[in-house]
Structures are given as structure tokens and as C-alpha cells.
Amino acid sequence: MFEKLFSYRQIRELERSQTFASLKSDRDRRGLVPIAVIDDEAFAAQQTLTNNGYNIKALGDIKTLDEVEPYNIILCDLQGVGRHLDGKNQGAFLINEIKRNSPEKFVIAYTGGALSDDITARANETADSFLRKDADVQEWRDKLDDYIERVSNPIIVWRRQRDALVRKNVATLDILKLEDAFVKSVQKRDPEIFGRISGSYDIKDDARAIAQSLIASGIFKLLVG
């Protein structure tokens, strides 16, 4: 029994994605990670960020969460979006839903409003970070480069996934099996391994549901390869 436990691969066996690390310039890295923007108005920073090499996709106000499925970094305005889903909580509702369904995604809330609004207070509970609408370009770059770095780091990606599994009270043994599959997938550059294990009969439904989003992203195209 114990021998079996010790045979599971652990996240510390991994290093940062070699493919991503080999890219020399920030611009190269920025271009590889598409960033979704949820905003009911024109996104003022779009041209500036595009000029800085970021791959920005303005989605407008989304109707379903499927629209953000391909993105691992999401910028979400807090006011005016998601009204048809939850008129009271607006952007905070969207952020909460995205994080509930896809805990591995990074969601950065941005707002021009005072940050003690009810909506902001609610978003603060789930968003990974905040930016003011009128933040300067250096702040945007620092924030986005940081999150691009995180989505390409398998250790961070797995830890977030594991935290979500723990919060859902998934059994430790199931988490160990998923971690083993995640490590094998990254090492062998084959997202199917993780997909097979998490879809297998001995992983419980709750763990499988949380892992589903990671599988759908092809473990984010094998960490931005």
C-alpha cells in the first residue's frame, strides 16, 4: 500500500516549462497567451496593450461562460457586464462563476469605480487581482507579465488546481492520482494522460468536474508550448 503511494509522481519533479523559458523577449511570451477582456464598452487599454505585444481579445459583454473557455487570463470590468445574468452583482457574478467552474483561470478585475462598492467587495472575494481602469501602462505590464508567467508555470497551475480540489473536499488519494497524471502529462508532453486518469472510473465525479477545465485547455496547450 505505502509503496504504491510513494510511487506517485509529485509536482516538485517538474520545472518551469522549457518551451516558454526558451523565449527570450517579453513580447514573444506576451503574444503566446491570449487574454480575454469582458467589457460592455470599448476597452481603452486595448491598443496600448497590443502595441506592447499582448494578445488581447475583446469579448464585449459575454452571454455564456463558454465564451471564456479558451482563455486562461481574463480581464473583467465590474460595472455594466453580466447584467442579464445578475443585474445586482454584474461583473462580480461573472468572476465568481468563472472561478467556480474553472479555478485554474486567472481573473483580474478592473474598475473605474470606488473600490468599496458592493460589487467590488464581492469581486474581491474571488478575483485574483485588481486594477484601476486608469492604471498606467507599467502597472498593466507588471500585472499581465506576472500572470503570463504563472499560467506557464506547471507548479503554480497544479497548486491552484490542488487548492480547488481540497476546497471541494476531494479525497487525498484522488488528488495524489491526479497530481501523478499531471506530472506525467507535462513530462511526456501528452495532455491525454491527465485526461485519461481524471476520466477513469476510480476518480470521483467532483474531482473530475474540477479537472475538466484543465483538460479542455490541453493543460493550456501544455503550458504555452
- In the complex, which residues of this chain contact another protein (CB under 8 A)? 44-45, 47-48, 51, 79, 112-117, 120-121, 124, 129-130, 132-138, 142, 146, 150, 156, 159-160, 163
Beta strands (DSSP E) in the chain are 34-38, 55-60, 73-77, 106-111, 129-132
Query: 3-class DSSP state for residue 36?
Result: strand
How far apart are CB 183 and another protein at their closest, in Å?
18
- Which of 129/200 has CB closer to another protein? 129
Of 129 and 187, CB closest to another protein: 129
Residue type, 180: D
**Shortest Å distance, C-beta 215 to another protein:** 21
Give the residue with the Cβ less far from another protein, 51 or 169: 51
Backbone angles phi, psi at 121, to 5 degrees: -60, -40
Nearer to another protein, 49 or 193 (CB): 49
Burial of 43 (0-12, 13-18, 19+ CB in 10 A): buried
Least separation, in Å, of the C-beta of 48 and another protein?
A: 5
> Measured from the CB atom, is 150 or 208 closer to another protein?
150
Shortest distance, CB of residue 124 to another protein, whole angstroms?
Answer: 5
Q: Cβ 107 to another protein, closest distance in Å? A: 13
- Shortest spacing between CB 151 and another protein, in angstroms: 12
State which residue, 124 or 196, has the beta carbon closest to another protein: 124
Complete DSSP assignment for 108-171? EEEESS-TTSHHHHHHHHH-SEEEETT--HHHHHHHHHHHHHHHT-HHHHHHHHHHHHHHTT--
Residue whose cell numbers read 458592493: 118
Residue owning grid cell 491525454: 192
